[in-house]
Chains A and B, each alone.
Chain A
Amino acid sequence: MSNQIGKQRLTVSEWLLMYAVITYAPTTRALTQMTITNAKEMAWMVPVASCIVYVPLMAIIVSIVKKFQGKSFIDIMSACFGKTVSKILGVIIMVYLLVLLAMYIRYSTDQLTSTVYIGTDYRIFVFLELFAIFFMLRGGIATIGRMNKIVFFLLIIQFLLLLVFLVKELDINNVTPVHIGGIPNVLRSTLDVLSISGYVTFLLIFNDKVVIYDKFKKGFVRIGIFMITALTLIVFWTLSIFGWRIVEHLNYPFFQVVKGIIIFKGMTGMEALFLSLWLLSEFMIICFFSYCILHLAKGVFNIKSELPFISVFLVFMFLFTQYFCSNTLELQTFSRSIAFPTNIIITIVLPFMLFVVGKIRKKI
């Protein structure tokens, strides 16, 4: 079977939907909270406002993809920056992804041990997650892509259901007034959204694994519109139900929103549905980053196949995650003060630089 994996390719839609799924968990977990710090009750406009940067970013990525079909990220970087710089950058991104992955694993287990699994050893969940990831990675990128697509459809169905159930809880007073004075604050908050929607850059890492067809641009436009809509909806719903003053204090606002759903008087417990599907997306995001790291390592160190390294890598991750941080407070401080700016640099600044340098050197 192993010889088959090398040949496996992703379709464009599978590729793009990966991006949609990996942003789901961070969005529901933290986005609303992040955006309200500046934008307050106008936070729901932030995703739309972020288009100022998001649209050019997407355009740049489209042009990079178009130019470098079937080339890996390292190849793209070395075409623009030269070989040495690209290897250094590759290592930096790899290390950052390692940290990000550890952060996501900790976040997901943390949310479990602070909501429904009180008093459970978080390492069990870390282990199980990595255990499943082990198989998924061995299955190859095509398998991951297919799983991802099914997970995406499940998430969409769930998400729409939740939005419908929550409609009667919406309070328009919490998302108004919309006024000109608040626009600078909205713009200031766009970085928060971009730190999540900028994950689109990570798609470039396994650009060489995708079968690009002529109309792939349309796919990017669609996924872009989808992302902005979905982000707006999540922020709008959370904000409208709770108001920014409460969201500010909640660790997992969207989860709390779901907890409040009551259908047909007394029919509660929707969070079970939410939680299990959310877990699925959590599996996908961890798998995604693991694959990114392995694939990047493959490019940086000129390895032929990533397969032999999967188990070593996962054992390393298991240990690394444990010493990564000790509690929720550290985790949140870390993600705010280190992960957030690095995210912006790698996912937003880097592609822009790629593009500019590439244009100057006439490579793009």
Chain B
Amino acid sequence: MIEDHVMKDMEVTIENTKKIFSTQDDVKYKVTLIRGEPELKVVIVYIDGMVKITSVNEDIIRPLNENPVFGSVATLQEAYRAALNGGIYHGNMVVISKMEELISTLLSGFSIVVFDELKTALAFETKGFEFRSVAAGQEENTFKSAKEAFVENVRVNVSLVRQKLKTRHLAVHEMDVGEKSNTTCSILYMNNICNEEFVNTVITRIKNIKQEDVLSMQDIYEGLVEHKYTMFPQSKSTESASVLCSSLMEGKIAILMNGIPYGLIFPTVFGDLFNSAFDYNINFALASFFRIMRYASFLMTLLLPGIYVAIAEYHPEMIPFALLNTIGASKAGTPFGTVMEVLLMSFTFYVLIQVSMQVPSSMGSAVSIVGGIVLGQAAVQAQLVSPGVIVVIAAASIAALAIPNKDANFATWIWQGFITILTAVLGLYGLTFGVILLLYSLARLESLGVPYLSPYIHPKKMQLEDSLVRFPLTDIQNRPTYLKPKIKERKKA
């Protein structure tokens, strides 16, 4: 095992390389003699599987042997110079002078031509990992919109974005994160729109990520957000290139990461959680209606079980007589109190959600049968739970799924449970108390300095043209002002 500090001072030789990669058998060493001359010996080092072998053959070995430039070289020094000056015709060449560089380029899928005696090397990009081809997304609604979703390769992903935004203003800032994983991150933004502050903050914060391995989006996310203790997402992840593009055009900043088929969009505010790409592909009136429905569903999820508990346990005077009697009749005869029933059913629901997340899809139908019929219908028939509670819990929990953002779904469920418990103790007052706490926890959040409750708390306008409702696209003239974009209007005046 070679220590890091020793490695720094090592010379670029094959021997050293072999020492360093003593336990890595996929590192291949191909000895090549230029023109077949034994004194002109170079070694090509690459990692099997990470390089495209045809590229190594065609772009490196063939020129070394056939390019007339090498015909006249007598020494290795001359050969090196010839190669440096384009003898090996390859677009991306890196001169290696330190062992460190050799290691990092090698691990990124470069093939390295080591001039052993000169203690130097040239690296050529011959990346050729196996990656998934671009296919339709699985998780987001792509009704009437582009189906292509991001893949694991960051280059491909950036190219997907480039294909949609053919402008010189699309800035792509690349960084490697993680000491060990050296994951490539691309920070994308429109340099004529996006607020400089965002860009600087994001870059500094990503630089400050001190983790060894950055393998998931969450690693970057947690390095970037100000408030780590909140359940509500402060960034939006998307698998659709077109969603990412439209966010960039609003003045937001996106982060793509190698190995992850999602893009992270910063800053994300509360209003964004309720927007879906779907909204921009249907008539504006429908979109507005659906958005309002989503907010209603959000409130329903949060408050319905609480309201039910409050009314059934504390404030029977607040419901109409007919309803009171119906619920009362269904309630009478079951063994537990309403609070217990609601908590029990909520718990069961959480369990079901967990199960459905963990089991493979082939077993999904079995789960739904057991969950739906046994836990719902049978519980009622056995008079364990009153049907009213089942209806309330089912409606409230399902309603959360209307929120397009998955992270927000989970957060809403947790808050629902919290508010329900508060209500169980204090009645309606507990409900309000829970809402105040929720409101507080949302109000103090800031995402990259943008208040989380934007656009609803924004001073000038509520940004009503694209928040609670959506106006016809032609009438959405301004970018969100809370992002403080450099160009405020969406179109040329």
Contacts and interface: CB of A to CB of B under 8 A. Distances in A.
Contact between chain A and chain B defined by CB under 8 Å: yes
Interface of A: 11-14, 112, 116-117, 124-125, 128, 132, 135-136, 139-140, 142-147, 149-151, 153, 266-269, 271-272, 275-276, 279-280, 283
A344 to B, nearest CB: 31
B459 A11 contact: yes
Interface stretch (B110-118, B282-290, B316-324, B355-363): B316-324
B144 interface: no
B457 interface: yes
B429 A279 contact: yes
Nearest to B468: A153
Tell me if B's interface is mostly helix, strand, loop or mixed.
Answer: helix
Of all A-B residue pairs in the complex, the 9 with the closest CB atoms, nearest first, are A269-B318, A146-B443, A11-B459, A279-B432, A272-B318, A13-B459, A147-B443, A143-B444, A149-B457
Given A146-B457, A153-B456, A266-B322, A135 B433 contact: no
Interface of B: 307, 310-311, 314-315, 317-322, 426-429, 431-433, 435-437, 439-440, 443-444, 451, 453, 456-457, 459-460
Nearest to A279: B432
B295 to A, nearest CB: 12
B22 to A, nearest CB: 49
Contacts of B307: 272
Most chain B beta carbons < 10 A, residue from A13, A112, A135, A272: A272
B93 to A, nearest CB: 48
A128 B429 contact: yes
Contact of B428 (A147, A153, A275): A275
Given A132-B436, A139-B443, A268 B320 contact: yes
B429 A112 contact: yes
B74 to A, nearest CB: 68
13 contacts: A14-B457, A116-B428, A132-B436, A144-B443, A149-B453, A150-B457, A153-B456, A268-B319, A269-B318, A269-B319, A269-B320, A280-B439, A283-B436
B443 A117 contact: no
Contacts of A151: 439
Contacts, number: 87
Contact of A132 (B319, B322, B437, B453): B437
A136 B439 CA distance: 10
Given A132-B440, A279-B432, A266 B320 contact: yes
Given A14-B457, A266-B322, 7 more contacts: A116-B315, A128-B426, A143-B440, A143-B443, A150-B439, A269-B319, A272-B318
B318 A147 contact: no
Contacts of B428: 116, 272, 275-276
A172 B310 CA distance: 37
B433 A150 contact: no
A276 B432 contact: yes
Contacts of B460: 13
Contacts of A283: 432, 436
Contacts of A116: 314-315, 317-318, 427-428
Given A143-B443, A146-B443, A147-B440, A271 B318 contact: yes
A150 B441 CA distance: 13
Contact of B440 (A124, A139, A276): A139
A271 B431 CA distance: 14
A146 B318 contact: no
Most chain A beta carbons < 10 A, residue from B322, B428, B459: B459
A150 B431 contact: no
A117 B437 contact: no
Contacts of B319: 268-269
Contacts of A13: 459-460
A134 B426 CA distance: 19
A172 to B, nearest CB: 29
A140 to B, nearest CB: 8
Contact of A14 (B311, B436, B439, B459): B459
A136 B459 contact: no
A128 B320 CA distance: 30
